[in-house]
Amino acid sequence: MSDLNGTRQLLQGNEAVVHGALAAGCRFFAGYPITPASEIAELFSILLPACDGTFIQMEDEIAGMGAVIGASLAGVKAMTATSGPGFSLMQENLGFACCAEVPCVIANVMRGGPSTGLPTSPAQGDVQMARWGTHGDHPIIVLALSSVIDSFTITAKAFNLSEKYRVPVILLSDEVVAHTRECVELPSTDEIRVVDRIRPSVPPDWYTPYEGDARGVPPMASFGDGYRHHVTGLIHDKQGFPTQNSSEIEAFHLRLAHKITRGFPEIQMSREFFLDDAEVAVIAYGSVARSSLRAVQDARKNGIKAGLLQLITLFPFPRGYVSPLLSQCRAVLVPEMNMGQISREVHRVNQTECRIVKHNRIDGQFITPTEIYKQLIKL
Amino acid sequence: MHVPARELRQEYLRHDKKFPHVWCPGCGNGIVMGSLLRAISSLKLSKDEVVMASGIGCSGRMPTYLDFNTLHTTHGRALTFATGIKLANPTLTVMAIMGDGDATAIGGNHFIHAARRNLNLTAVIINNSIYGMTGGQYSPTTPFGARSTTSVYGHVEHAFSISELAVTAGASFVARSTVYHADLMDKLLEKAITKRGFAVVEVISNCHVQYGRRNRLGDAVEMITSYRDNAVTVRKAAAMTEEELEGKITIGVLADREMPVSTEEYARIRKQAQEKKK
Ligand SMILES: Cc1ncc(C[n+]2csc(CCOP(=O)(O)OP(=O)(O)O)c2C)c(N)n1
Ligand code: SF4
């Protein structure tokens, strides 16, 4: 737990990520410094030793991701944090975690890309990468942070989902969320739900390390607790050993995909504002969702029936919330600090006449409420 | 104490699940595996406390066959995963098995930093001078002038000395053997596993299929006997000139030093932090 549970604090988004992680039971951090994510590593380095946890600064982000997976395999909840260039380096080992079903959390505090891009300017350019960055079909969960309090609660939630589904969870923050300081009431320890991975209950000889339970998620033994087993990034059979058998290969992929599909109701998170009678709506996430809320409130004041759907879960894409909204509204606006990475998802699930309007900024500047308002009144 | 091979096989191999293996007949990888099992057996380590991690390559397949906590990671990254495991549970005996390409090309950065960091880990590098698994391309230890599928005209670069690299990078223990010198290898591995700090054992091994064949070094037996003929002990090597050492393989312990181990240092820091909090 974090010592700050249940107190009122002035925190930065990055700091809140650390406290949220600790509250969820995270006891291991490995990473490599990069702006605008470094404060996460710095605060972990201070707080982890005091709660029997481990901090290590590795030689690069590839190593950071490797160490996180290793720690998780040894039974310790683990995370890393980075920004675009480091997130690119993590992709191969991230795929390993998807394939071998190793719970872990990766915070990507987005900055302008590609390449070294725009350090310390806000952007949301890594959204599709968070979903598809590592090669091959793979399950993954991507959550967007929009505020300091979200940085706490959604980070804790990310650990819970990761543990429950044995899947890496990507947290997408951005420079604005990361560096904004806000006064927040942190939930008390009683209010914070902590989920731990399910451990095998059978004797070691009966343990089948990659046989899913009813939800498709295999119970997970830690290295060292008597359930000797094999973990590999090769496609494997239920015993965990490499296989070339096509029916086993297909079964592997389908189980990994279905464990996430089955969890949709719990995994897909969003917030709705003024949507009941909305004729036009904004679909937004991250810091842009906050500008959007202000714009929608202003529009309401001026008699426009506007609403906001704030996406917390970006992937699996919450079509269950988006599709009904598209049937309800005559138009939706999708403001993003990229060239349209979520608006293409909105298009993908649109089966109505609803007009989808993009509003994009790629100049390193934040999207203001005024900008969104101006677009909104034109819908 | 000498334990018969049959008993070692019975005790440590996942014979019911994962055989036959992928290695070519005569490959040195099997000799290294046997030596590791003898070392683990004579140290009486419990199978539950041993974690064996590997990278990708022919060498990387070794853990698949062994009844420990086994982990087959990504190419070059075995030491990074091993670092996380060891830090998360320092009571485990963690080793990483790597090929020369694995450890010193794609994983070179991790290798030198693991040595510098001095965690209590054992790194075993099977150096066969070539990329075996991908079909015989040159590696960082392919000698100048040697032929590979990506240096058919003769290699124009120079080879790393893996052990010297490890010594310079700060490893607590560094030793070299060849697959011919199995008894020596057993002892070196035992020492490495029990060493406080980062321990490296480099094993010169034969890939007669991808390397020997292209360089007219003969079959497995010929390659392995050439190690016998060309090996000199560390003590002997110390009295030899650079010219005399040309083409020789120095075997034995190259570094053995006591240094603060980062896992132990971190435990101290934890204690401090916890006292401060009280
Ligand atoms: C990122 C990445 N690049 C390339 C490969 C392909 N690959 C597999 S094994 C290997 C080299 C193996 O050589 P070495 O490490 O010397 O081990 P050996 O097979 O000789 O035991 C390569 C390049 C890979 N698996 N991953
Ligand atoms: S290709 Fe070379 S290294 Fe690989 S199994 Fe065959 S002999 Fe051994």
Residues A180-229: tens digit of each pLDDT? 999 999 999 999 999 999 999 999 999 999 999 999 999 999 999 999 99
The H helix count followed by the E strand count for chain B is 11, 10
A166 and A295 both lie in a single domain: no
Cβ–Cβ < 8 Å for A36, A176: no
Report the pLDDT averaged over residues B51-76: 98
Contacts of B84 (CB under 8 A, 6+ apart): A28, A30, A66, A67, A68, A69, A70, A71, A72, A73, A74, A78
The shortest CB-CB distance from A66 to any of B64, B81, B277 is to B81
Report the pLDDT averaged over residues A15-42: 98
Q: Which residue has the higher pLDDT, A120 or B100?
A: B100
A232 to B68: CB separation less than 8 angstroms, yes or no: no
Burial of B238 (0-12, 13-18, 19+ CB in 10 A): exposed
Pocket test for ligand 1, best of B102, B150, B162, B209 (most atoms within 8 A of CB): B102
The shortest CB-CB distance from B273 to any of A50, A64, A222 is to A50
pLDDT computed for residue A17 by the predictor: 98
**What sign for the dihedral angle of Cα A336, A337, A343, A346?**
negative
Report the pLDDT averaged over residues B121-137: 98
Identify the bridge partners of residue B52 per DSSP, sorted by sequence position: B70, B95
Q: Return the CATH number at A142.
A: 3.40.50.970
pLDDT computed for residue B19 by the predictor: 78
pLDDT computed for residue A5 by the predictor: 87
A46 and A141 both lie in a single domain: yes
The protein residue with its alpha carbon nearest to ligand 1, atom 3, reads: B75
A175 and A305 both lie in a single domain: no
Residues A58-106: tens digit of each pLDDT? 999 999 999 999 999 999 999 999 999 999 999 999 999 999 999 999 9
Contacts of B231 (CB under 8 A, 6+ apart): B178, B180, B181, B248, B249, B250, B251
pLDDT computed for residue A120 by the predictor: 84
Residue A254 lies in a domain: no
Cβ–Cβ < 8 Å for B207, B127: no
* A155, A249, A251, B271, B272 from B278: Cα distances, Å: 27, 53, 52, 11, 10
pLDDT computed for residue A78 by the predictor: 99
Strand runs labelled E in chain B: 50-54, 69-72, 93-99, 122-127, 130-131, 137-138, 173-178, 199-204, 231-233, 249-256
Average pLDDT, chain B: 96
Atom of ligand 2 nearest to the CA of B205: 3
Report the pLDDT averaged over residues B13-28: 89
pLDDT computed for residue A330 by the predictor: 97
How many CB pairs below 8 A link A and B?
143
Domain boundary, last residue among A165, A191, A217: A191
**What sign for the dihedral angle of Cα A6, A9, A11, A13?**
positive
Report the pLDDT averaged over residues B128-133: 98
Give the count of domains, chain A.
Answer: 2
> Does pLDDT of B2 surpass 80?
no
Angle (CA) A204-A208-A213 rounded to 5° is: 115
Is the reported ipTM for this assembly greater than 0.95?
Answer: yes
Report the pLDDT averaged over residues B189-217: 98
Q: How close is the nearest chain B Cα to the Cα of A31, in Å?
A: 11
Q: Return the CATH number at B153.
A: 3.40.50.970
Domain boundary, last residue among A164, A191, A218: A191
CA distance A327 to B11: 65
A153 and A61 both lie in a single domain: yes
Q: Return the CATH number at A279.
A: 3.40.50.920
CA distance B263 to B165: 22
Which positions 87-116 of B are in contact with A (Cβ < 8 Å)? Answer: 87-89, 91-92, 109-110, 113
Which residue is it, tokens 């309401």?
A: A300
> Does pLDDT of B1 surpass 70?
no
Q: Which domain holds residue A159?
A: 8-191
Cβ–Cβ < 8 Å for A124, A336: yes
pLDDT computed for residue A2 by the predictor: 62
Q: Is B74 on the interface with A (CB under 8 A)?
A: yes
Spacing of C-alpha A296 from chain mean position:
25
A20 and A163 both lie in a single domain: yes
Residue A37 lies in a domain: yes
Q: Which of A28, A157, A310, A369 is nearest to B84 (CA)?
A: A28
pLDDT computed for residue B277 by the predictor: 83
Contacts of B244 (CB under 8 A, 6+ apart): none
The shortest CB-CB distance from A67 to any of B68, B74, B83 is to B83
Q: Which two tokens stand for residue A11?
A: 């925190």
Chain B residues within 8 A of A93 when measuring between CB atoms: 74, 77, 80
Report the pLDDT averaged over residues A15-39: 98
Which residue is it, tokens 């006891």?
A: A27
The protein residue with its alpha carbon nearest to ligand 2, atom 2, reads: B207
> Does pLDDT of B63 surpass 80?
yes
Give the SS3 label for residue B255.
strand
Domain boundary, last residue among A161, A191, A221: A191
CA distance A324 to A328: 6
Cβ–Cβ < 8 Å for B251, B231: yes
Burial pattern B22-33, b for ≥16 Cβ within 10 A else e, equals ebbebbbbbbbb
> Does pLDDT of A3 surpass 90?
no
A26 and A135 both lie in a single domain: yes
Q: Cβ of A340: how many Cβ atoms within 10 Å?
A: 18
Spacing of C-alpha B157 from chain mean position:
23
Q: Among A56, A72, A96, A230, which would you mutate to test the B interface (most chain B Cβ atoms within 10 Å of its Cβ)?
A: A230
Residues A295-354: tens digit of each pLDDT? 999 999 999 999 999 999 999 999 999 999 999 999 999 999 999 999 999 999 999 999
Average pLDDT, chain A: 97
B109 to A223: CB separation less than 8 angstroms, yes or no: no
pLDDT computed for residue A1 by the predictor: 52
> Does pLDDT of B15 surpass 90?
no
pLDDT category, A364, cuts 50, 70, 90? Answer: very high
3-state SS, chain A, equals CCCCCCCEEEEEHHHHHHHHHHHCCCCEEEECCCCCCHHHHHHHHHHCHHHCCEEEECCCHHHHHHHHHHHHHCCCCEEEEECHHHHHHHHHHHHHHHHHCCCEEEEEEEEECCCCCEEEEECCCCHHHHHHCCCCCCCCEEEECCCHHHHHHHHHHHHHHHHHHCCEEEEEEEHHHHHCEEEEECCCHHHCCCCCCCCCCCCHHHCCCCCCCCCCCCCCCCCCCCCCCEEECCCECCCCCECCCHHHHHHHHHHHHHHHHHCHHHHCCEEEECCCCCCEEEEECCHHHHHHHHHHHHHHHCCCCEEEEEECEEECCCHHHHHHHHHHCCEEEEEECCCCCCHHHHHHHCCCCCEEEEEECCCCCCCCHHHHHHHHCCC
Ligand nearest to the CA of B100: 1
pLDDT category, B185, cuts 50, 70, 90? Answer: very high
pLDDT computed for residue A359 by the predictor: 98
* DSSP structure class, residue B107: T
Give the count of domains, chain B.
Answer: 1
Q: Which domain holds residue B142?
A: 5-277
Residues B204-229: tens digit of each pLDDT? 999 999 999 999 999 999 999 999 99
